[in-house]
Amino acid sequence: MNQKWEVLIARLRKDFSISGDLLSVLFLVGIQESGEGFRHFDQQEKTDLVKLGKYTLLSRAGYYDKITISGRDPLFIPSDEHPLPKDTEAIDNILKKEVLFYFHEHHIV
């Protein structure tokens, strides 16, 4: 997984001029999921996009359930069946794995 992650990060740095850390990748996922495209975002918008990226990926992995209400931002609630690990490193690894799947599915890498 580490080699695939490094290949993805190199590609994203080149294509999107990001720093290459997990937060910047979550930001890109959030932009994609919001459907807004690239523009200038204020700090609160950036924070919200990172959260959207994070919870989108964790919902794909089964740790959150995504509830969509027409005309509103999606809500993410923790899954009763699949509790999220408490260890930050384990969560980061889950997110990285889901990032790889996500970008592969979207034909970015």
- pLDDT number for residue 15: 87
- Mean of all residue pLDDT scores within the chain: 91
Q: What contacts 49, CB < 8 A, 6 or more positions away?
A: 26, 27, 30, 31, 34, 41
What mean pLDDT is predicted for residues 2-21? 88
Longest dimension (CA), the chain: 40
pLDDT digits (tens, 9 = 90+) for 62-107: 999 999 887 778 899 999 888 999 999 999 999 999 999 999 988 7
Query: Is the sign of the CA dihedral 7, 99, 46, 15 positive or negative?
Result: positive
100 neighbors 93 (Cβ within 8 angstroms): no
Confidence at 109, pLDDT banded by 50, 70, 90 = low
